Amino acid sequence: MTELEKVISGARQICLVSHTHPDGDALGSVVGLGSYLIERKGKSVKCILPTAPADNLMFMVPEGFPLSIAEDDTPAALDIIKGCDLLMVLDCSGLSRTDFLEEHLRKSTAFKVLMDHHVSPETGDFGMVFSKTEISSASELIYWILRDMEGGTLPQATRTALMAGMTTDTNNFANSVFPSTFAMASELIEAGTDRDYILSSIYQQYRENRIRLMGWMQSSNMVVLPCGAAYMILDADTQKRFDYKEGDSEGLVNIPLGIAGVKLSVMLKQTEKGFRVSIRSRRGTSARELAVRSFHGGGHENASGGKLDFGTDIANAGAASAYVEQAIKEYLK
Ligand code: 5GP
Ligand code: MN
Residues 148 and 220 in one domain: no
For ligand 1, atom 11: residue with the closest CA: 299
Measured distance CA(277)–CA(235) in Å, rounded: 12
Residues 92 and 145 in one domain: yes
pLDDT of 151 higher than 90: no
Residues 301 and 184 in one domain: no
- Domain encompassing residue 304: 211-332
- Closest atom of ligand 1 to 93 CA is 22
Final residue in a domain of this structure, among 172, 203, 234:
203
Residues 196 and 220 in one domain: no
Q: Express each pLDDT in 135-149 by its tens digit.
A: 999 999 999 999 999
The Å distance, Cα 93 to ligand 2 centre, comes to: 9
pLDDT of 114 higher than 90: yes
Residues 199 and 251 in one domain: no
Residue 152 has a pLDDT of 86
The Å distance, Cα 137 to ligand 2 centre, comes to: 5
Q: Express each pLDDT in 63-107 by its tens digit.
A: 999 999 999 999 999 999 999 999 999 999 999 999 999 999 999
Residue 200 has a pLDDT of 98
For ligand 1, atom 12: residue with the closest CA: 299
CATH number reported for the structural domain that contains residue 241 in this entry? 3.10.310.30
Q: What is the mean predicted confidence (pLDDT) over 22-32? A: 98
CATH number reported for the structural domain that contains residue 16 in this entry? 3.90.1640.10
Q: What is the mean predicted confidence (pLDDT) over 293-322? A: 96
For ligand 1, atom 7: residue with the closest CA: 304
The Å distance, Cα 134 to ligand 2 centre, comes to: 12
Binding-site residues, ligand 1, Cβ < 6 A: 23, 93, 118, 278, 297-300, 303-307
Residues 74 and 91 in one domain: yes
Residue 218 has a pLDDT of 98
Measured distance CA(169)–CA(159) in Å, rounded: 16
Residues 110 and 236 in one domain: no
- Into how many domains does the chain fold? 2
The Å distance, Cα 304 to ligand 1 centre, comes to: 5
Identify which of 279, 286, 304, 308 to mutate to test ligand 1's pocket (most ligand atoms within 8 A of the CB).
304
For ligand 1, atom 19: residue with the closest CA: 306
Residues 223 and 194 in one domain: no
Residues 173 and 322 in one domain: no
Global pTM exceeds 0.85? yes
Residue 255 has a pLDDT of 97
Residues 196 and 317 in one domain: no
Q: How confident is the model at residue 109 (pLDDT cuts 50, 70, 90)?
A: very high
Residue 55 has a pLDDT of 94
- Closest atom of ligand 1 to 300 CA is 12
Identify which of 91, 97, 231 to mutate to test ligand 1's pocket (most ligand atoms within 8 A of the CB).
97
Average confidence score pLDDT of the chain: 97
pLDDT of 111 higher than 90: yes
- Closest atom of ligand 1 to 250 CA is 3
Measured distance CA(284)–CA(177) in Å, rounded: 17
The Å distance, Cα 165 to ligand 2 centre, comes to: 8
Measured distance CA(162)–CA(137) in Å, rounded: 9
Residue 108 has a pLDDT of 98
Q: How confident is the model at residue 322 (pLDDT cuts 50, 70, 90)?
A: very high
Final residue in a domain of this structure, among 203, 228, 243:
203
Range from 112-116, 226-230, 298-302 carrying the lowest mean pLDDT: 298-302
The Å distance, Cα 23 to ligand 1 centre, comes to: 10
Residue 257 has a pLDDT of 97
Residues 49 and 193 in one domain: yes
Final residue in a domain of this structure, among 159, 176, 203:
203
Residues 56 and 128 in one domain: yes
pLDDT of 163 higher than 90: yes
